[in-house]
Amino acid sequence: MSKVEGLKNWDLTGVPEQQQVAEVLIIAAYPGITDELLDKKPAERLQAIAQQMQAGLNTVLQTGKLSNWQLLKNSNRRGSRFDRVRGEMKVADILAIAQLEVVAGIQVEHTNGERIKEKAPRKPKRRYYCVKTTVAIQVEGQAKGMQGVEERYILFKAYTENEAVAKAKEQLRRMKNTTSTQRANSCGGRWKASTTCMK
C-alpha cells in the first residue's frame, strides 16, 4: 500500500516539474514493540515511544526537504507527543521521504496545481427486459380437454432484471381480478402463474 495519499487528486501538468510544490502532513511511524520497551513501566514506555517518534520527525527535518514546517502534537488521556509535521516540499521529493522507515505516511493537502474534480457517479440507466409470463387455469376434476393457458412476452423498462420480474408479478396480481380469472373460480378452477426473464 502506498504511503502517499492525496497526490492523485491534483493535476500538475501545467506546472513545471521544478516548481511543483505541495503542502503535506507527514506522520511519524509508530516504533516497533521491543523487549526493551516492554520492560519499562507504562509511563516510561509512553515517554520512550514519544522520544522515538520525535526522533523520527527530526530525521525527516534533517533531510532539508521540508520548509515552513510546524510540529503537531497528539494529545490523549495517556499523554501527549509530537507525531506529525506539516510543511511544504517539492512534489519530486515526496516519494523519497515516504520511503524513510521513520515515516508512516504522507498526506498531500494542497499543491500549486489544479485540483481534479471528482466525477459524479453515473446514474444507472434503465434497460428493456423481456419477461415471459405463463398463466394457467387448472379446472379440478378435468383430466382431458383444453386447459386454459396463456403465455405473454412483456417488455418492461427497469434498472435491473429483478425489478422487471417484480413489475411482471405485480401485473399478474392485477390480472387475478380479470374476467378470465373470475370465470376460472366459478368453475372450480385455480389460477396459477409463473414468470421468467428473457435476456
pLDDT(16) > 70: yes
Structural element, H or E, at residue 30: none
The mean of the pLDDT values for the chain is 82
Tell me the CATH number at 39: 3.30.70
Both 10 and 75 in one domain: the answer is yes
* Whether the Cβ atoms of residue 98 and residue 29 lie closer than 8 Å to each other: no
120 domain-assigned: no
pLDDT on residue 75:
76
Both 13 and 97 in one domain: the answer is yes
pLDDT(98) > 80: yes
121 domain-assigned: no
Highest mean pLDDT among 29-38, 68-77, 92-101, 166-175: 92-101
**At residue 77, what is the residue type?**
R
Burial class (CB in 10 A: 0-12, 13-18, 19+), 148: middle
Q: How far is CA 199 from each of CA 85, 120, 131, 150, rounded to the nearest angstrom? A: 58, 29, 9, 21
* Whether the Cβ atoms of residue 192 and residue 151 lie closer than 8 Å to each other: no
172 domain-assigned: yes
List, as one string, the DSSP characters of 93-128: GHHHHHTSTTEEEEEEEEESSEEPPPPPPPPPPPEE
Q: Give the end-to-end CA distance of the chain in Å, rounded to a whole number.
A: 41
- Please identify, among 115, 140, 167, the residue that sits at the C-terminal boundary of a domain: 115
Both 94 and 26 in one domain: the answer is yes
Number of domains composing the chain: 2
Per-residue pLDDT of 110-119, as tens digits, reads 999 888 887 7
Both 12 and 109 in one domain: the answer is yes
Q: What is the mean pLDDT of residues 85-105?
A: 92
What percentage of the chain reaches a pLDDT higher than 90? 28
- CA–chain centroid gap for 159, Å, is 21
Both 77 and 135 in one domain: the answer is no
* Distance separating alpha carbons of residues 182 and 199, to the nearest angstrom: 33
The three grid cell numbers given for residue 42, joined into one nine-digit string:
507504562
Both 11 and 102 in one domain: the answer is yes
Dihedral, 76, 78, 80, 83 alpha carbons, nearest 10: -80
Rounded to 5 degrees, φ, ψ at 125 are -95, 145
What percentage of the chain reaches a pLDDT higher than 70? 80
Both 108 and 36 in one domain: the answer is yes
Both 103 and 151 in one domain: the answer is no
Q: Which domain holds residue 193?
A: 127-198
Q: What is the mean pLDDT of residues 51-57?
A: 90
Both 166 and 93 in one domain: the answer is no
- Please identify, among 93, 115, 137, the residue that sits at the C-terminal boundary of a domain: 115
- Residue 21: band (very low, low, confident or very high) from pLDDT cuts 50, 70, 90: very high
Both 90 and 8 in one domain: the answer is yes
Question: CB within 8 A of 65, min separation 6: which ones?
Answer: 89, 90, 93, 96, 97
Rounded to 5 degrees, φ, ψ at 187 are -100, 20
- Please identify, among 95, 115, 135, the residue that sits at the C-terminal boundary of a domain: 115
Both 48 and 102 in one domain: the answer is yes
- Residue 104: band (very low, low, confident or very high) from pLDDT cuts 50, 70, 90: very high
pTM: 0.58
Q: What is the mean pLDDT of residues 40-69?
A: 89
- Residue 24: band (very low, low, confident or very high) from pLDDT cuts 50, 70, 90: very high
- Residue 196: band (very low, low, confident or very high) from pLDDT cuts 50, 70, 90: low
122 domain-assigned: no
Both 12 and 88 in one domain: the answer is yes
